[in-house]
A and B are shown apart, each in its own frame.
Chain A
Amino acid sequence: MLPASAKAPHKQSRKQSISIGRGTRKRDEDSGTEVGEGTDEWAQSKATVRPPDQLELTDAELKEEFTRILTANNPHAPQNIVRYSFKEGTYKLIGFVNQLAVHYTQVGNLIPKDSDEGRRQHYRDELVAGSQESAKVISETENLEEDEEPKELETESGSQTDVPAAGAAEKVTEEELMTPKQPKERKLTNQFNFSERASQTFNNPLRDRECQMEPPPRTNFSATANQTDDIIKVSQAAKIVERMVNQNTYDDVAQDFKYYEDAADEYRDQVGTLLPLWKFQNDKAKRLSVTALCWNPKYRDLFAVGHGSYDFMKQSRGMLLLYSMKNPSFPEYMFSSDSGIMCLDIHVDHPYLVAVGHYDGNVAIYNLKKPHSQPSFRSSAKSGKHSDPVWQVKWQKDDMDQNLNFFSVSSDGRIVSWTLVKSELVHVDVIKLKVEGSTTEVPEGLQLHTVGCGTAFDFHKEIDYMFLVGTEEGKIYKCSKSYSSQFLDTYDAHNMAVDAVSWNPYHTKVFMSCSSDWTVKIWDHTIKTPMFIYDLNSAVGDVAWAPYSSTVFAAVTTDGKAHVFDLAINKYEAICNQPVAAKKKNKITHVQFNPIHPIIIVGDDRGHIICLKLSPNLRKMPKEKKGQEVQKGPAVEIAKLDKLLNLVREVKIKT
């Protein structure tokens, strides 16, 4: 179909079309039934009807001839296609435009015979044809046999089918030989009597079997990572806050310490109590005994604790801890050492210097301003350390060259003065203790002494050169620093080792000693026999004079009790007799009074330190007499004690 390419309408063609249309209608009307005579009228009137919008053309124009060319061009195809050419980088006009117009497509399934697919299909068709042929053959044989034995069909149809099937099978096999790859013959089943038998093995049910390892042990590891190193600047604030937190936790204890006074003491004459306050302990020092206690002379809330072991067989490390009452949960300073610490002393003028004596005979000085674990100065085997445990150290006044100086006493019988000369410890043997009366004559004419073992000493408060030494034999020697071989005096004090000797802080003549033979004895150093003897039913570990009164002192025993005596109140008995150990089995080893607060600290052999407050009865001051001013001061104390002693002395003189 080719659409007309002319665009100008033609009058003639229109006329023609109209007339043609009429012509066809006429023919139709002949066959139709409706139109009757009216059509004739239509057919007869051939007058042309002029549409109103028809173009008016002149005759010349009407006769004009127009040439029409029929081409095979597709009028819908675009005539000016441009394509971008990458090679030239411009748009180029394509001369040849596809003029093909597709009106109808259908996909068919004809394939050429000689192509692969065609051959395959042909082959398959042949195979199918072959089987059909064999089927035809079989049916032919069946027909033959049926003719022969029609009766047997019904009953033995199955067998017959089998037989011809067998026969057919033979033929099939023959055919197979002829044409390889023939498909297997389909099994012919008798439609009347056929049962298929099949069997299947039992399928075991599937079960999931799993096993899992025991998960490995896990611990939580967590740590905080800081952006900056500036956390050091919070150290001061952290210390303060730690104390605040502790104060909150131990609020009642702090209140008791400051304000609590046992009201019951008014009704209990001559008896006092010890109120337990804080308990100090540290995990690191858990199994170690408290071997030394000392309050700091400058900072009255700070005290030093030495840890070690008294057991000869179980010697391990030692620790030096300094606690503040403001923070009972963690020590302010912590030092550890290889050998147990047996004694310590803090310098009065330099409260940051701590002198320490070890079980292995060494002495050391720790500087609290430099809190490393190592002591600042240490003695060694070369520099004259003791060959036995050092039982006591005490700072002395600086020597003439302003060098620091302290004394130490040990079981090896030497009392050594150590001086810190240009950051080295120089030792000077002050005295070698001899057991008196034990000198034996040896054939060569030399005198052999048995070495005495010093276990405690104390220096006189006022008389500088005089000091007392207690020994393991139970004797107390009064010695002078200047005389190295002779004692000023000897006291047969105890039956067992002397554990502590202590001068009275007020009275210059009185001193006190305690021993493992269960006794505490009070002496006047001018008299050979003790003034007062107290038997405490258990080995006495330590005694200490109270700093506020000349007649008050405390003693601690291995049965875990603390005894407080006030000679002014009761000359014969303790006014306080109280078990203070943290656990019943613990033995109390040391006791110290605080210089200003009414508290004492006791240490036990498990590393616990307990702080106790003295009840008012234990701190009795002389009563005011009416009209008289209360006299305070050392003189009063001395007088008080003198009075007591005089009583005793009189008795002694009498007897």
Chain B
Amino acid sequence: MNEWMNTDREPDPLPSSLPGPTAPSLGEPQAEVEETLKRIQSHKGVIGTMVVNAEGIPIRTTLDNSTTVQYAGLLHHLTMKAKSTVRDIDPQNDLTFLRIRSKKHEIMVAPDKEYLLIVIQNPCE
């Protein structure tokens, strides 16, 4: 009969969790972006990240649904307004990013042609 022993240490991490050849080394742009987003999410103080499309619909998020929808809707409007403001002042200019610093945290919005990347960070720990 096999004897079952209680080993006191944590089980060894499965091989899949060890870092293997990374996407940048493989040259896949899609996985590279995924890695960047993963790095952002695991950065110090980052509360959540989300990607919102041109209509304000969240595509991927690390926060819960209600919060995501709220942020997406509100920030979409705000970004559009900011963009139009910048453009109105100088038509050659364009919005690069938007930072809203509040008492509790900072919301960073990076607009793209089709998407909007929103990151909420708590800068001072």
Q: What is the CB-to-nearest-CB distance from B17 to chain A, in angstroms, rounded to a whole number? A: 6
Task: A373 to B21: give the CA distance in the assembly, Å.
Answer: 11
Please name the residue on chain B nearest to A373 by beta carbon: B25
B112 contacts A214, CB within 8 Å?
no
Bound form: Cα–Cα A371–B111 in Å: 25
Docked complex Cα distance between A231 and B115 (Å): 9
Given contacts A240-B96, A245-B46, A336-B25, contact A219 B33 (CB under 8 A): no
Is the CB–CB distance between A240 and B110 below 8 Å?
yes
Task: Assess the A249–B45 pair: CB atoms within 8 A.
Answer: yes
A420 touches B (CB below 8 Å): no
Contacts of B37 in A (CB 8 A): 234, 238
A214: which B residues are within 8 A, CB to CB? 4-7
Residues of B participating in the A interface, judged by any CB pair closer than 8 Å: 4-7, 10-14, 16-17, 19, 22, 24-27, 29-30, 32-34, 36-37, 39-40, 43-46, 49, 51, 59-60, 96-97, 99, 106, 108, 110-117, 119, 121, 123
Best-buried of A213, A224, A234, A246 by chain B (most CB within 10 Å): A234
When A219-B14, A245-B46, A249-B44 are in contact, do A234 and B117 touch as well, CB less than 8 Å? yes
- Shortest C-beta distance, B85 to chain A (Å), equals 19
What residues on B are CB-neighbors of A229 within 8 Å? 30
Taking the complex as formed, is A15 at the interface, i.e. its CB lies under 8 A from any CB of chain B?
Answer: no
Q: Report the number of A-B residue pairs with Cβ-Cβ less than 8 Å.
A: 117
Chain A residues whose CB sits within 8 angstroms of the CB of B29 once the complex forms? 232, 235
Residue of B nearest to A240 (CB): B110
Given contacts A224-B60, A329-B39, contact A248 B45 (CB under 8 A): yes
| A contact residues around B115 at 8 Å (CB) | 230, 233-234, 237
User: Which of A224, A237, A329 meets B117, CB within 8 Å?
Assistant: A237
Nearest chain B residue, comparing its CB with the CB of A225: B60
Q: Which one of A244, A334, A371 contacts B97 once the chains associate, using CB atoms below 8 Å?
A: A244
Closest CB in chain B relative to A510 CB, distance in Å? 43
Least CB distance from A210 to B in Å reads: 13
Determine whether the beta carbon of A234 is less than 8 Å from that of B123: no
User: Which residues of A sit under 8 angstroms from B33, Cβ to Cβ?
Assistant: 231-232, 234-235, 238
Q: A96 within 8 Å of B by Cβ? A: no
Q: Is A245 a contact of B43 with CB atoms below 8 Å?
A: yes
User: Is A299 engaged at the interface, CB distance under 8 Å to the other chain?
Assistant: no
The count of residues in chain A whose C-beta lies closer than 8 Å to any C-beta of chain B is 42
> Is residue A517 within 8 Å, beta carbon to beta carbon, of the partner chain?
no
CA distance A242 to B33 in the complex (A): 11
In the complex the two chains form, is B6's CB within 8 Å of A241's CB?
A: no
Interface residues of A in 35-80 (CB under 8 A from B): none
Residue of B nearest to A223 (CB): B34
Q: How far is the CA of A235 from the CA of B114 in the complex (A)?
A: 12
Given A234-B33, A235-B29, A237-B110, residue A242 in contact with residue B97 (CB < 8 A): no
B99 touches A235 (CB 8 A): no
| Residue of A239, A241, A333 touching B119 (CB-CB under 8 A) | A241
CA distance A616 to B60 in the complex (A): 48
- Taken residue by residue from 414 to 453, chain A's Cβ proximity to chain B (1 for < 8 Å, 0 otherwise) reads as 0000000000000000000000000000000000000000
Interface SS of chain B: mixed
* Closest-CB distance, B107 to chain A (whole angstroms): 11
Q: Which residues of A contact B19 (CB under 8 A)?
A: 283-284
From A226, A241, A284, give the contact of B40 (CB < 8 A): A241
Q: Least Cβ distance of B105 to chain A in Å?
A: 10
Apart from A244-B119, A245-B46, A330-B39, 14 more pairs, CB < 8 Å: A213-B4, A217-B14, A219-B11, A231-B34, A234-B33, A234-B115, A235-B36, A236-B112, A240-B97, A248-B123, A329-B39, A333-B24, A371-B27, A373-B27
How many Å from the CB of B58 to the closest CB on chain A?
12
On whether the beta carbons of B123 and A242 are closer than 8 Å, the reply is no
Q: A558 to nearest B CB, angstroms?
A: 31
A239 touches B36 (CB 8 A): yes
A329 CA / B111 CA spacing, docked (Å)? 23
B contact residues around A245 at 8 Å (CB): 40, 43, 45-46, 108, 119, 121
Residue A372 interfacial (CB < 8 Å):
yes
Contact in complex: A233, B114 (CB < 8 Å):
yes
| B36 x A219 contact (CB < 8 A) | no
A251 at interface by CB-CB < 8 Å = yes
**Contact at B108–A242, with CB atoms within 8 Å?**
no
CB distance from B26 to the nearest CB of A (A): 8
Most A-side CB within 10 Å, residue of B13, B39, B46:
B39
CB of B43 within 8 A of CB of A329, answer: yes
- A312 within 8 Å of B (CB atoms): no
The answer to the question of A221 belonging to the interface, with a C-beta cut-off of 8 Å to chain B, is yes
Q: How far apart are the CA atoms of A232 and B37 in the complex, in Å?
A: 11
Q: What 6 pairs across the A-B complex have the smallest Cβ distances? A: A217-B11, A237-B110, A248-B123, A237-B117, A237-B112, A238-B36
* Pairwise interchain contact B59-A371, C-beta atoms closer than 8 A: no
Q: How far is the CB of B13 from chain A (nearest CB, A)?
A: 6
Please determine whether A241 and B110 come into contact, CB atoms closer than 8 angstroms: yes
Which residue of chain A lies nearest to B22 when distances are taken between CB atoms in the complex?
A334
Measured between beta carbons, the chain A residues less than 8 angstroms from B113 are 233
Which residue of chain A lies nearest to B12 when distances are taken between CB atoms in the complex? Answer: A217
Does A115 sit at the interface, judged by CB under 8 A?
A: no
Contact of A241 among B32, B108, B114 (CB under 8 A): B108
Q: Is A13 engaged at the interface, CB distance under 8 Å to the other chain?
A: no
Residues of A within 8 A of B16 (CB): 219, 221
| B32 contacts across to A, CB distance below 8 A | 235
Residue of A nearest to B111 (CB): A237
Collect the chain B residues with CB atoms within 8 Å of residue A228's CB: 59
* Of the residues A226, A240, A248, contact of B106 by C-beta under 8 Å: A248
A575–chain B nearest beta-carbon distance, Å: 36
* B121 in contact with A226 (CB, 8 Å): no
Q: Complex: how many Å from CA A283 to CA B42?
A: 15
Partner of A242 from the list B26, B40, B96 (CB cut-off 8 Å) is B40
A sample of 8 cross-chain residue pairs with beta-carbon separation below 8 angstroms, ordered by A number, consists of A218-B11, A231-B51, A232-B33, A238-B36, A240-B110, A244-B97, A249-B123, A333-B24
